[in-house]
Amino acid sequence: MKKIVEIKNLVHEYARRDSEGNVAEIVRAVDSVNLEIEPGAFVAVLGANGSGKSTLAKHLNALLMPTEGTVLIDGKNTEDREKLLDIRKTAGMVFQNPDNQIVANVVEEDVAFGPENLGVPTEKLEKRVHDSLKAVDLFEERKKSPNRLSGGQKQRAAIAGILAMRSKCIILDEATAMLDPVGRKQVLQAVLELNREEHITVILITHFMEEVIEADQIFVMKQGEVVLSGTPRQVFSRKELLEECGLTLPDAARIAWGLKLKGLSVRTDVLSMQELEEELNGIGVSHGGV
């Protein structure tokens, strides 16, 4: 099967300039990254601030061009200017700041913005907008001003805008970072449903480890390189490496590690509190106490 994303030896460098405009140093934001993503997968890219994860994301949407290497989206090279719209249509992107990515003054018109740019005829536009808003549960708010929406609703509106382009892949570039816990949950729930039900590829870029539990595969980035990849269970068991990358384990895994250090022989690759509880029950520790 054709890969939806194929990155080969990607390097991205940018020049940091001093106040006179001379190049002070060359920064390698992304350093020889290789990765492949299957259609319909739920993939997470984890990394602390400055690990290059956002730079990587911008390559997937042809907002940045590789310094070296190639990025293929659904088999199309991002450096091919003729395929630019096609690539951006295939891989839609949700950005970090909810306010700065809404273009129109009415929710439904903002959702229509992408397909309008693609020249979708008006009769089809209405259905697309309708379906997309239903899919993210925002249909009731369609006539509102985006300023009246909560952060989580704004991000869901942005997701609807991508669905309306009939994208095969949604990239969330730290899209939950500015949201409150409720909004974060709503957005994650929405993309998870789209992944499970519509088989849309989701690439979730984040530094919150709690968000990646549901992912099929995780890539961990540090200083522009992918240092670790695998299933959540495989990744969560590499505590030292994760801490070196500036990431903190979710609560359940942290407690498990703590218990292990105290001499209890528990598994440390637990993903949720529920799993931890089962694990503890399994080894004879119950709510009553140790």
Partner 1 sequence: MIRDITIGQYYRTESVIHRLDPRVKIVGTLCYMISLFTFQSFAGYLAAIPFFAFVLLLSRVPFSYTVKGLKPVFVMLILTSVLNLFWTEGTVIVRLGFVVVTWEGLKRMIVISLRLILLIIGASVLTLTTTPNQLTDGLEHLFSPLKKVHVPVHEIAMMMSIALRFIPILIEETGRIMKAQTARGADFETGSVLRRIKNMFPIFIPLFVSAVHRAGDLADAMDARCYHGGAGRTKLHPLHYTGRDSAAFFVLLLYLLLLYFVKRYIPY
Residues that bind partner 1 (CB under 8 A): 58, 61, 63, 85, 88-89, 92-93, 95, 97, 99-106, 108-109, 112-122, 125-126, 129, 146-147, 161-162, 165
Residue 289 is classified by DSSP as B
- Report, in Å, the least distance between residue 255 CB and partner 1: 38
User: How many whole angstroms separate alpha carbon 202 and alpha carbon 192?
Assistant: 8
Cα 70 from chain centroid? 21
Q: Which is nearer to partner 1, 93 or 249 (CB)?
A: 93
Q: Across the chain, how many H-helices and E-strands are there?
A: 10, 10
Q: Which two tokens stand for residue 81?
A: 């200017």
Nearest CA to 160 among 86, 219, 101?
101
DSSP string over 124-179: HHHHHHHHHHHHTT-GGGTTS-GGGS-HHHHHHHHHHHHHTTT-SEEEEESTTTTS
Residue 231 is classified by DSSP as -
Radius of gyration of the chain (CA): 21
Cα separations in angstroms, 105 against 56, 108, 111, 139, 149: 31, 9, 11, 16, 12
- Report, in Å, the least distance between residue 22 CB and partner 1: 23
**CB neighbourhood size of 95 (10 A):** 18
Q: Which is nearer to partner 1, 125 or 285 (CB)?
A: 125
- Report, in Å, the least distance between residue 96 CB and partner 1: 8
Q: Which is nearer to partner 1, 139 or 257 (CB)?
A: 139
- Report, in Å, the least distance between residue 16 CB and partner 1: 17
Q: Which is nearer to partner 1, 89 or 238 (CB)?
A: 89
Q: Which is nearer to partner 1, 113 or 208 (CB)?
A: 113
Q: Which two tokens stand for residue 45?
A: 């890219």
Q: Which is nearer to partner 1, 161 or 250 (CB)?
A: 161
Please tell me the number of Cα atoms within 13 Å of 24 on its side-chain side.
Answer: 6
- Report, in Å, the least distance between residue 238 CB and partner 1: 33
Q: Which is nearer to partner 1, 93 or 245 (CB)?
A: 93
- Report, in Å, the least distance between residue 95 CB and partner 1: 6
Q: Which is nearer to partner 1, 179 or 228 (CB)?
A: 179
- Report, in Å, the least distance between residue 25 CB and partner 1: 22
- Report, in Å, the least distance between residue 55 CB and partner 1: 13
Residue pointed to by tokens 């500036």: 246
